[in-house]
Amino acid sequence: MSKILKNTVLLTILTFASRVLGIIRDAVIAMYFGTTSQSDAFFIAFRPFDLARKLFSEGILSVSFVPIFTETLEKEGRSKAITLAFSFFCFLSLAGIIIVLTGIFFAPFIIKIIAPGFVVHSYKYGLTIILFKIMLPYLWLVLIAAFCMGVLNSLGNFGVPALAPVVFNLVVIWFALMISKYFDTPIIGLAMGVTIGGLLQLLIQVPFMIRLGMLKIPPLQFFHPGIFKVIKIMVPCMIGAAAFQINIAVASFFASKLDEGSVSFIYYADRLVQFPMALFAVSAATVLLPEFSKKAALGHMDEISELFSNGVRLVFFITIPAMAGLIALDEKIVALLFGYGVFNAMAIQQTADCLVFLSLGLWAFTGVRLFVTLYYALSNIRIPFYSGIIAILLNLILCSLFIDTLGLKGLVMSVSISAMVGFIVLFINIPGAVNINKFEIMVSACRSLFLSVIMFFLVKQAAVFILTEGSNKFWFGTGVVCCMCFGMIFYFSMNFFISSPELKLLKKGLIRNKS
């Protein structure tokens, strides 16, 4: 567990840097483009590529390729693993090229599908098509970058893949600040930054792939039969591992029928929810997947049970209070991070409303991410697939029902409710081969929830006293940070007072890392 926690901490630190830059990137976009027709067009055009990035970098490729690659490496040796990697690289390259070329020719038709609320031949519709075509090469780049990430993670290198998004965010920020102003339509410069950022995100990983011998052509065999197994489970993995991302995309497509800026409000709220989710759930799942796969290949089920139970408890221990904090300081956080330039008070309020309803599902988003990791490490794709289908269909139904009565709030509420149902399906169908103590996990989550509810009211009340209207951004930001720190101090102090097992587990792992 010490090694797992050490890698998770490293990955969390790098992911934190990436997410902070991601927030800065979005703050820059909000400041310059606000919640206008241009921003809506950009976020709709970017959504399929962002979805592909999350599917492959944080979902489908990790859970479909990594277990098989790890099993091949453990059982058949390094040469066979290199053959498998080369075969899959060729497959992804060809598939990516075909998709990009298809997207160029059928862009108008695709935009009609993903933005049904955009009027055909309108300015917003035409701009969306242009931005979509500019960012199309990013799709191929993100496929190959995700492949490199999967291979490097399987071989124990978590640092470089986690550093790659940092490079991407820096490039996009630079294009938004320095390049976009040279275009008559500035948002075009931002779209170009996405494509160039994707290229550099890939190039930073290539030297390490070459050093490990994973990009050389196998001398004796060009094709590994394991590629069929990977391809066979990719689509079910796509549904099971990334139902949340798909549902966010669906909510955005529905939002295109609402008032101007609705697509942007969902995007910014999603980015804030993704911050704690990526820091803890995705980092833990990324580290645990190769470890689970190795132990599953060797038949060490008891070790998997212990690692998974501890991992879930620790992630819930962190994400549940993070959920409470986001809800307590919703409007304050949005104002601090995005409330600049043309991002006005109405945009702050609408984004904050989306953030509250989306944050309610944070525990379910993180829970699904971890449970899917366990299922796929055990080569069980059926249950996550059914769970994903249920969540996606339920989201479609709820979005259709809520959009007329609750509007934007109803769309994000649908995403949260669907994730909760998907999590329940995964939780009650844990494979019998793994002896997971469900009661222990539920008690741990309820304990964290109880303390988080108390923390919520205290932080909410503290914000009333500390955060005053009319204060400048520095003192306002200082006040928000103080409220966050107050909540964290209370939460961890109470856990220390009641001798929380999760706090002891966290402390034990960190002490081992230092030694």
Question: What is the token pair recorded at 395?
Answer: 């989201």
Residues spanned by the domain of 453:
2-514
Q: Quote the strand ranges of 135-222, DSSP E.
A: none
CB of 385 closer than 8 Å to CB of 365: no
What's residue 289's pLDDT?
Answer: 60
pLDDT at 416: 95
Cα gap 264→327, rounded to integer Å: 19
pTM of the model: 0.80
Long-range contacts of 426-430 (CB under 8 A, 24+ apart): 426/367, 426/368, 426/371, 426/372, 426/375, 426/383, 426/384, 426/387, 427/367, 427/371, 429/383, 430/371, 430/374
**Per-residue confidence (pLDDT) for residue 471, from 0 to 100:** 66
pLDDT number for residue 251: 93
pLDDT in tens, the chain (515 residues): 455 555 556 666 777 777 788 888 888 888 888 878 888 899 899 988 888 887 776 556 666 777 778 778 777 777 778 888 888 888 888 888 999 999 999 999 999 888 888 878 788 889 999 999 999 999 999 889 888 887 887 777 777 887 888 899 999 999 999 999 889 899 999 999 999 999 999 999 888 888 877 777 666 555 667 777 777 777 777 777 778 888 998 998 899 888 888 888 998 999 888 887 766 666 666 666 666 666 766 667 777 777 788 878 888 888 899 999 999 999 999 988 888 887 888 989 999 999 999 999 999 988 888 888 788 777 788 888 899 999 999 999 999 999 988 889 999 999 999 999 999 999 988 876 677 778 888 998 999 999 999 999 999 999 888 876 666 778 888 889 999 999 999 999 999 898 888 887 776 654 444 44
What pLDDT, on a 0 to 100 scale, did the predictor assign at position 510? 45
Q: Could you give the number of structural domains in the chain?
A: 1
Cβ atoms within 10 Å of 257's Cβ, excluding its own = 14
Q: Residue 324 has what pLDDT?
A: 94
d(CA 53, CA 459): 35
